[in-house]
Every structure is written in C-alpha cells, then in structure tokens.
A and B are shown apart, each in its own frame.
Chain A
Amino acid sequence: MKFFDLYRKDRWPHMFCPGCGIGTIMNAFYYAIAESGLSQDKAVFVAGIGCSGRIPGYIRGDSLHTTHGRPLSFASGIKLADPSLKVIVFSGDGDLGAIGGNHFINACRRNIDLTVICINNYNYGMTGGQVSTTTPAHFKTSTTPSGNKEYPFDLSEIAVAAGANYVARWTTYHVKSLIRSIKKALLKDGFSFVEVVSQCPVHFGRRNKMTAPTRLLNWIKENSIPRAKIKQITDDTLDLNVQGKISIGEFIERNRIAYTKLIGVCK
C-alpha cells in the first residue's frame, strides 16, 4: 500500500476544523498502514458517527460509515463473513465510550480480529462540544457550563480489563510512537485498540481557555506521562482527570487466540 494512494483526493477539501488533531492521526495511520504491507483492496475502513467517523470517507478503499456507536457491530459482521479482509474501525470517545460502550467492551472480550483507533478529543466534536464519557472532571463543555461533575472513563484501561489483545494510548503529540503502535495493532491477531488523545480546539479548547490549537496540544503534552509511572499518583485523581494525568504507552500485549481462529473461519 502506498502512502499517497490512500488519499481519496476527489473528496478534498476535508471537513475538519482548523487545528483539529484528526489530520495528524490520519497521517500517522497512513504511515502505519503503508508500512504494514497490508493490501489496500483487502482492507475495509469502518466508522461510526462523529468527526472521527468521517475519517474513512477520506481513505481510498472500501469504507462503511455506519450509525452512531455501532461501528464495531458492522465491523464484526464484515470480518466474520469474509475473514480475508482486514477490518479497521475509527471511532470517537462518544461513539465508543457512551452510545457504543456495550459494543466496545464486548468486542474486546470477543477478540475478533479488528483494529480500532479511537480519537479521544474529550468531547462531542460533531455536535458542537457536549460533555463526553471521557471529559475530564470539572472541565467545561456546552452541556456542563459549570464544569463536568462526572468522572471520566479510561477507555484504554477498560479495553485491558475487557480482554483486548493489544492496547496502546498516545496523543497527537506522540506521533512516532503512535505510528509504531498503529502498525503493531494492524498486524496483531485478535482485537487491537489504539486510543489517541487529540485536540479539539474549536469546542473543547475554546471553552477551557485553550483556543489556540498549540496551547491545547501543549497541555496534552505536558500532562502525558508513561503508564508505568502512573502508579505513583494516588488513585482518586487517576487519569485523564484535571488533577490527574494522561497515561500513555503500550498498555498490554497478549496473545489470546482470536475468535475467528477459535471458530475455524481463520487459520
């Protein structure tokens, strides 16, 4: 697969806002998949609804833009019905953690060969910046004008607990590591999950005094620490919380036999 072959140029210009992290993530993805040696015409790109859900629309390959929260269901059907296809899912934190949360944990547990890339921008970008299951506590969104009083989900830790074969989290600042992890995820048997913490300056940044994309990205950078070090922080402020940190790194790599192999549809 060649890098520039992956661009669906007839759809330019794209619809993402200035300063959005999705461009960086798409670039990282193009690098990773180009290096992976996978075949462009044997890959299917699936997404839910949201800004992140629009990514497959800009990739030149068979792509299915599904319904909000359900891309993993569609992707599971594709993989089981035609195991020769490499199925890659793009999802947002709302898509995957809120409306699609049940599909997410069950997909991790079921361990079908799927690679899922979750763009976690801490809010609902597409609908104008509402609170999400990953919004850090006390941060402002359009539906939490006095600050979010719920504690956030840690999607990557959930994926680990739910049984995914590969889990990594990086940010749009950690591009090299992100490329490496996406490539690893693409080549992994079973369910692989890469979460990317990404900047949404137009909604999340604007409401939290970080309108400039660089400021938001810098905030993400400064708050990221390797997961191995996170143990030193007390539990009640753990992770993606204002007082906490964004833990990054490879969370787990295990080799549970993929469902597709167990039922005999894959060798």
Chain B
Amino acid sequence: MKIIEPGTYFMQGDEACVEGAIYAGCRFFAGYPITPATEITERCALRMKEVDGVAIQMEDEIASIGAIIGASWTGTKSMTATSGPGFSLMQENLGYACMTETPIVIVDVQRGGPSTGQPTRASQGDVMQSRWGSHGDYEIIALAPNSVQEMFDLTIEAFNLAETYRVPVIILSDADIGHMRGTFTVSDNIKIVTRKYHTKPVKYNAYAYDENLVPRFPKFGQGHRVHITGLTHDISGYPKTTFPAIHQVLITRLVDKIRKNEQNICRVEIINPRAEYLVVAYGSPSNSVYELAEKNKNIGLFRPITVWPFPEGLFRKRLKGVKKCLVLEMNMGQLFWDIERTALKSGCRNTELFTKLGGDVHEPDEIVKELGL
C-alpha cells in the first residue's frame, strides 16, 4: 500500500494516526518506543519506506524531536510520537520549534503520570504541559481526538495547521483512543495544506512577514543562506538578544499569529445546542456523553476538538442559558480552569469538575448524578 485510498478501514487508533500522517504528506518520522505510542513508531518503520519516506528510532525523545525539526527545515513534513515521560523530555526542543517557527507534529498518547505512572492506562495529565511545558511565552495548537476516525482526521488537520501557522501542533490522544480498534472512513475530498515557501533566495530577512504574521519558509539547500537560531532574533534571523523591543516584537507576533486566528483554528463539537445542562468533555471522556444526550435533550455536550488555543469564543456563545456545566477530565482538573474562568465571565456560576483517574471511565449514570438530575 502506498497512500491510503478512499474507503472504510478497521485499525487501531495509533495505526490510523500514521495513515493520516502519510496522507497529509508526512515523509519523516523519528521516535523512541513508549507505551501507548509504540505502535506509531512501529507502523512508521513499516510504512514510511513504502512512500519513499524515512522513519528512524533515535536514542531518546530529545533526539527524536530534534531530528524532526531538522527534517522540517528541508521542507519535509515531519512527526514524532510519544507519551508522558517522553513528552517531558521534548519540552526544550518544542520551545525551539516555536521560536524558530518550525512546522512539526507531535503525538502524545497520554498515560497516567506523573513519572512512569501507568503505562497502559489512559489519562489527560498532559493537557497543561502541552500548553505551558516549555519555558518562556508562546502559543501552541493542540487537538484532542476521541475516536479512531479522529486519529486519522486530526492528524491531517494537525499537519495542515502546522504548515499554515508555522507552529508545532500536538495531538493529545490517550491510551484508550490510541489502543482502541475501530473503523474509520477516508473520504475523497480531504484538504491538504502545503507550506508556503520563498520562491527567490531571501539573502536577508529570513523572517520577513506580512499582515497574516506568518513568514514564508526559507527551506535549506535553496541558496537562501539563512541563519536560524533559538536566540531572540529580528526579521533577519540573526541573534539580537539584548534589545527589549526586538524580543517584544518577536514574542508578540509568535503569540498573536495563533491568538488572532483563534476563530480559524478552533473546532468544537456541540450536541443539543439548547440544553441547559452542559457537559464539557474532550478526548476519551466525551464518549460517555453521546448516549445520554441522545436520550435527554436537556443534556448537552460541548467538546473542544481544539484544546489549545482554548475555544473561548465558541464556548461563551454556547454558555447562553446554561444552568450547570459539568467538566469531565481524566486528571485532577486542568482544562477545567479555563472552562470555569470562561463560564464565570459569561455569568454561569455553576461549573463543577468530575474527575476520573487511573484509567477509570466516567459512567453515564454517574454523569447524570453529578449533573443533579
């Protein structure tokens, strides 16, 4: 098989992710084995060769993310996959990708933590780490799939967003979704975004940008002779580390190119848009809500598919007329803080967190009870 063709397939979430990546044009993968993301590394080893790509197992996760950043500078769409412990190791180079505006995709199939924790059990413990894990100020994009279908779809979306905004995109999956087997459909009209390159050698100003705030990409080997650094730089790309104004301009742009595009980036799923009892859930736990919402039209689901940036605008709109918000998370409350903050701003004072840890699931009747119905 080369690139997956339109049709319906039965696969594991991790495997569907690899097919999505290849479909999106990913031709370089570097990773280090870790449960529950190992299947991604293994399938890449098998599949990249068939599409004239390269997959390599590096000596650790730091090297893995380094390698995909390097590969991306040759204009090759690149991905790595890991779980909590490896994701922790990647944080410094993740910040490097933000600073140098390198498009990459990182799959984090979350497991219980901290530390080695629960290798085979699902969790959502890395939500805040995916937002704030590296040092300094930056904005990032993270997507949370809740099915095998979305492991395919959102991997493609992740590449499209990475290419559009020149930013690392994280797929925040979890052990349940990564290891789940199920069907997914490949349609025949999937949009693929290709990177915008400089056509003529830039010589100077590697980071010249226009009003959309995203510079064109000067890929290596084309005579651009650019210097790319993680140090604070101006549009020339050269280090300028001691001028407050230059740092301010750079960081503001890195943040604004995401914040100002929140509307174009954020996607959510809304079920029963007028329900007064609103369950807010993403990733695995959201699957506990569908049947409930089907049976009781006064129970709604608000599911951030884009976790970062937090879809604040869409959430505020949905909050009109909501009596109670119940947040389902497989952590001690992480996205909860943004959800509660937004709810308070919109006048909803009744937001509660319903936590499940250790790989346990939110049972539908427990959700009903927590809603006070």
Contact = CB atoms under 8 A, between A and B. Distances in A.
Please say whether chains A and B are actual partners in one complex.
yes
Interface of A: 8, 10-11, 40-42, 44, 46, 56-57, 60-67, 70, 72-82, 84-85, 102-103, 106, 263, 265
Contacts of B228: 62-65
B71 A81 contact: yes
Given A66-B96, A78-B70, A84 B227 contact: no
A99 to B, nearest CB: 10
Contacts of B59: 102-103, 106
B220 A65 contact: no
A15 to B, nearest CB: 9
Contacts of A56: 227
Nearest to B69: A74
Given A44-B220, A57-B238, A106-B59, A74 B70 contact: yes
Interface majority SS on A: helix, strand, loop or mixed? helix
A65 B227 contact: yes
Contacts of B66: 66-67, 70, 72-74, 76-77
Nearest to B96: A67
Contacts of B222: 41
Interface of B: 27-28, 30, 54, 56, 58-60, 62-76, 78, 92-93, 96, 204, 220-231, 238-239
B70 A73 contact: yes
A44 B221 contact: yes
B224 A65 contact: no
B71 A80 contact: yes
Nearest to A41: B223
Given A41-B223, A67-B93, A82 B63 contact: no
Contacts of A81: 27-28, 54, 70-72, 74, 76, 78
A265 B238 contact: no
28 contacts: A11-B238, A41-B222, A41-B225, A44-B73, A57-B227, A60-B225, A62-B73, A62-B224, A64-B220, A65-B229, A66-B230, A73-B58, A74-B70, A75-B70, A76-B58, A76-B63, A76-B66, A76-B67, A77-B78, A78-B73, A78-B74, A79-B70, A80-B28, A81-B28, A81-B72, A82-B220, A82-B221, A106-B59
Contacts of A103: 59, 62-63
Given A62-B226, A63-B227, A77 B96 contact: no
Given A73-B67, A77-B69, A81-B54, 12 more contacts: A11-B238, A57-B229, A62-B226, A66-B66, A67-B230, A76-B56, A76-B58, A77-B70, A80-B71, A81-B72, A82-B74, A103-B63
B70 A84 contact: no
Closest 4 A-B residue pairs measured CB to CB?
A73-B66, A77-B70, A77-B67, A81-B71
Contacts of B72: 77, 81
Contacts of A106: 58-59, 63
